[in-house]
Amino acid sequence: MMKAAKGFTLIELLIVMVIVGLLASLVGPQMFGKVDDSRVQTAQTQMRMLETSISTYRLDLGAFPANLDLLVASDNERWQGPYFPEDIPVDPWGNDYVYKMPGEEDRPYTLKSLGPDSQESEDDIYLRK
């Protein structure tokens, strides 16, 4: 009597690969969308932290900082920092946050991330109050 061969046939392997491919095509885009959403949330959280540091700097020195590096180190005698606990972070896409003083739209300053395309465009992320 012959023993039956153990293992999978080529057809069975192909069917499993097709099923895995279909599942990946359905779940993959949703997962990548979550990654983008989490990057936006991270940028907004970091900008809130920077905004708090900028406000504290202003309370101590009576003016907004000329640049974000002044939140970490300054030679001003009234400076009571550091106002940010570590080096100024980069955004989740690896770019420096954009800080302009005076700001856009008659605001005292503008703080934003350039977003995924790393250039000024409609996908920039602003901290909105």
Cβ-contact 57, 71 below 8 angstroms: yes
Per the domain annotation, does 28 fall within a domain? no
Per the domain annotation, does 70 fall within a domain? yes
Percentage of the chain with pLDDT > 90?
41
Per the domain annotation, does 22 fall within a domain? no
Does pTM top 0.75 for this prediction?
no
Sign of dihedral through CA atoms 120, 115, 84, 64?
positive
Mean pLDDT, all residues of the chain:
84
Cβ-contact 76, 62 below 8 angstroms: no
Give the domain CATH number at 70: 3.30.700.10
At residue 5 the predicted structure's pLDDT band, cuts being 50, 70 and 90, is low
Expressed as residue numbers, the domain containing 112 is 36-126
pLDDT at position 129 over 50: no
Per the domain annotation, does 101 fall within a domain? yes
* Region of residue 115 (left: phi > 0; alpha: psi -120 to 50; beta: else): left
Task: Convert the pLDDT of each residue in 9-61 to its tens digit.
Answer: 878 777 877 778 777 777 766 666 666 778 899 999 999 999 999 999 999 99
Per the domain annotation, does 79 fall within a domain? yes
Number of domains within the chain:
1
